[in-house]
A and B are shown apart, each in its own frame.
Chain A
Amino acid sequence: DTEVTQTPKHLVMGMTNKKSLKCEQHMGHRAMYWYKQKAKKPPELMFVYSYEKLSINESVPSRFSPECPNSSLLNLHLHALQPEDSALYLCASSQGLAPETQYFGPGTRLLVL
């Protein structure tokens, strides 16, 4: 079973809203990732968590705030986003960090108005 789930599937928010994206995996993976993907572009890495600790932040603006409450869950808190933040947000997980296959969730399509 290589399933990563993400909720919600779609999200529309205003620039003053606060919302959260949720990602869950039950494969026992210890590394989880957030990616952002714009149309016709490849995924861009945002954050990497390893053993529930943030190990990589790819210079992402502070209006994006990740959180890893436990080894199965990864959240991305959104606040004061801009219209250019509209994209597909992908969560992925891997067994560890050395190099391991990453499995992607279905994504959350975000539209910022």
Chain B
Amino acid sequence: QKEVEQNSGPLSVPEGAIASLNCTYSDRGSQSFFWYRQYSGKSPELIMFIYSNGDKEDGRFTAQLNKASQYVSLLIRDSQPSDSATYLCAVNEGDAGNMLTFGGGTRLMVKP
């Protein structure tokens, strides 16, 4: 059974702080990793994807991947109340069908 694990939260951070969201996955053959943001009642919105070990930065967001530890994280710098949402980690094992395995999501609350 392929698993993707996330702490459900809520993770509460003050406005302006760094929010750190973590995700572990079970399948060592996993090839690509995605972070989606989902506001309540809305659909998932792609934040970032990462394929290679190391860091990938995009604006206030940094994705970090460590395949040896089977760990992927998302850092949000200068957190804003508008960042309050559920963040879904999704992993693509590279099987036929481009199938994503989602973690349960971490709810982030940014307090003004």
Contacts and interface: CB of A to CB of B under 8 A. Distances in A.
A80 B23 CA distance: 38
B97 A97 contact: yes
Chain A interface size range: 20 to 34
A104 B90 CA distance: 13
A102 B42 CA distance: 16
B44 A90 contact: yes
Interface in B33-90: 34, 36, 41-46, 49, 88
Given A97-B96, A97-B97, A99-B94, A43 B102 contact: yes
Given A99-B94, A101-B34, A41 B104 contact: yes
6 smallest CB-CB distances across A and B, nearest first, come from A42-B102, A99-B92, A97-B98, A56-B97, A104-B43, A107-B43
A90 B43 contact: yes
Contacts of B94: 99
A72 B18 CA distance: 40
B98 A42 contact: no
Specify the main secondary structure of chain B where it touches its partner.
loop
16 contacts: A42-B88, A42-B102, A42-B103, A48-B97, A56-B99, A88-B43, A96-B98, A97-B97, A98-B98, A99-B92, A100-B98, A102-B34, A103-B46, A104-B46, A106-B42, A106-B43
B97 A107 contact: no
B32 A99 contact: yes
Contacts of B98: 31, 48, 94, 96-100, 102
Interface in B1-56: 31-32, 34, 36, 41-46, 49
Contacts of B100: 45, 102
Nearest to A50: B97
A55 interface: yes
